Structure 1
Amino acid sequence: MFSIFKTKPILKDLIPEGFIDIHSHVLHGLDDGAKTLRDTVYLIESMKDFGFEKIMTTPHTTPLVWENTKEGIISKLEEVKSEIPELAKSVSLNAASEYLMDESFLRRLENEKILALKDNVVLVEMSYMNPPIHLYDILFKLVSLGYQPVLAHPERYNFYANDFNAFKKLKKAGCLFQLNLLSVTGYYGSGIAHIADELLKNDMYDFAGSDIHHDNHINGFSNKLKIKNVKTFEKVLENNIKFFG
């Protein structure tokens, strides 16, 4: 007897052919992602098995925590490419950075060229505790300098959980939104899955990213989706291919 209820799909089964990931932490020794070259290899091979065709890895640039520089990230990228040339080439491994928006980021914008995802498109994040005091000054500065900010995982900022208008304000300020793939499985909690579903329902996501750091994240791709707006989610995955391809 067949169930009248549809079974929710498994996340890894929805990764489209040619998927381009724009957010991960697979370069070892730079942040809270991969620790060793062995970790890097495992993560990339797993992502390749999921169907990822290109990987744009994005080490954190977080003052006083991960003091990464554009030069340091590029140097590590080249080191990894030389150590695993065939694997790196097979996924078109490249790098940008995930920048924490704070007061020091304003100074960074004035003094250096940002390591972007593509052209002028830059990946940014906020503290999970609270938004920066000068958030909209930072966004205004970014846009005025010709950058296009992409806000990483907006669904994970719990201080906006009961204030949907805050998301609308961010979009109005020029932010594109990047969904974390694991958010739709409930990996970070049911509340975050709910926010992701609401943002999908309102067509507010522009791109998606794996935000893969370690093997627990890899294992999470075998979980079922816990959202209703699956078709919209699939469209967001396709946006990565269209824009970054």
Structure 2
Amino acid sequence: MIHYLKSLFNGNVAQEESFSAIGVDMHSHILPGLDDGSENLEQSLELVQAMKALGYRKLIMTPHIMNDFYKNTPQGIREKLQLLQSAVTQAGIEMELGCAAEYYLDEGLLQKLDAGEELLTFGNNYLLFETSFLNEPLNLREAIFKMRSNGYNPVLAHPERYSYFYGKFNELASLRELGVLFQPNLNSLTGYYTPNAKTQAELLIDEGLVDFVGSDTHGHKHTNTLWKVLNSKYYAKILALPLRNQQL
């Protein structure tokens, strides 16, 4: 299946043939049975192999942590990482694996920050977080302040997908003044999510406001679409930015 998809798009890939120049994916839901991503170990193995075929050498997998839906813990996430690592090694797949989490900005996250609980981060204490796609949280800036005060470097997942910032690009950009780093999803460049998300992602790239890029892989629908990203002129622009992925 993987070789078929690769051959299907090879005829159109003009600029790059893989994501090896990025090397490290720092946002995915490939760990098995933790959220709305991979359902089981078999699917996780298939997705790791698909990411390898795309040119990645390391995956930092980030299950959702949401107070009302996904009550994942650092211990539980690490256990699934060990399970997948063992299966990947046994299958002979050469891929470095790590884990963090994608935290939803809710009362649970604020309580964890207030209590000084352990939060799963990656790299230089980078904390991946997301918000509602439709409504700006009233406590967004308060939460950012608490993250920074606790020594975290906040990374806003897929900033191009928050509709409350559409038509308010300067407000989105102003979050960087508070110390927030931005991580667009690569598949946004294909219009996979919405045309507005594509436009916003392109604007972030044009303005140089991109620190990381992620696949946000939940399943094969995402890895299959990633092949199309390689043919995007904006992917070439991304590679010209000082991305932090390779440093992870």
TM-score (norm: length of structure 2): 0.88
Find the counterpart in structure 1 of residue 107 from structure 2. 103
CA contact (8 A) 1:184 1:196 kept: yes
Find the counterpart in structure 2 of residue 120 from structure 1. 125
Question: What secondary structure is seen at the aligned counterpart in 1 of 2:155?
Answer: strand
Find the counterpart in structure 1 of residue 5 from structure 2. none
CA contact (8 A) 1:185 1:226 kept: no
Query: Which of 218, 228, 240 lines up with 1:235 in the alignment?
Result: 240
Question: Once the 2 structures are TM-superposed, how far is the Cα of residue 38 of structure 1 from its aligned partner?
Answer: 1.1
User: 2:62 aligned with 1:58, yes or no?
Assistant: yes
Question: What secondary structure is seen at the aligned counterpart in 1 of 2:228?
Answer: coil
User: 2:212 aligned with 1:207, yes or no?
Assistant: yes
CA contact (8 A) 1:178 1:207 kept: yes
TM alignment of 1:62-101, pairs within 5 A? 62-86=66-90, 90-101=94-105
Count of residues paired in the alignment: 237
Go from structure 1 to structure 2 and tell me whether the alpha carbon gap of 1:226 and 1:128 turns closer, same or farther (over 3 Å shift).
farther
Counterparts of 2:242 and 2:224 in 1: how far apart (Å)? 19
Question: Once the 2 structures are TM-superposed, how far is the Cα of residue 227 of structure 1 from its aligned partner?
Answer: 5.9
Find the counterpart in structure 2 of residue 40 from structure 1. 44
Question: What secondary structure is seen at the aligned counterpart in 2 of 1:65?
Answer: coil
Go from structure 1 to structure 2 and tell me whether the alpha carbon gap of 1:229 and 1:81 turns closer, same or farther (over 3 Å shift).
closer
Find the counterpart in structure 2 of residue 217 from structure 1. 222
Question: What secondary structure is seen at the aligned counterpart in 2 of 1:26?
Answer: coil
Question: What secondary structure is seen at the aligned counterpart in 2 of 1:31?
Answer: coil
CA contact (8 A) 1:203 1:232 kept: no
Query: Which of 151, 154, 164 lines up with 1:159 in the alignment?
Result: 164
Counterparts of 1:197 and 1:137 in 2: how far apart (Å)? 28
Go from structure 1 to structure 2 and tell me whether the alpha carbon gap of 1:237 and 1:48 turns closer, same or farther (over 3 Å shift).
farther
AA partner of residue 228 (structure 2): N
Find the counterpart in structure 2 of residue 4 from structure 1. none
CA contact (8 A) 1:21 1:52 kept: yes
Structure 2: gaps (5+ residues)? 1-10
Go from structure 1 to structure 2 and tell me whether the alpha carbon gap of 1:18 and 1:195 turns closer, same or farther (over 3 Å shift).
closer
Find the counterpart in structure 2 of residue 179 from structure 1. 184
TM-score (norm: length of structure 1): 0.89
Counterparts of 2:73 and 2:232 in 1: how far apart (Å)? 37
Question: Once the 2 structures are TM-superposed, how far is the Cα of residue 230 of structure 1 from its aligned partner?
Answer: 4.1
Structure 1: gaps (5+ residues)? 1-6
CA contact (8 A) 1:22 1:55 kept: yes
Compute the RMSD of aligned alpha carbons.
Answer: 2.3
Go from structure 1 to structure 2 and tell me whether the alpha carbon gap of 1:82 and 1:227 turns closer, same or farther (over 3 Å shift).
closer
Go from structure 1 to structure 2 and tell me whether the alpha carbon gap of 1:135 and 1:165 turns closer, same or farther (over 3 Å shift).
same
Moved segments of 4+, more than 6 Å: none
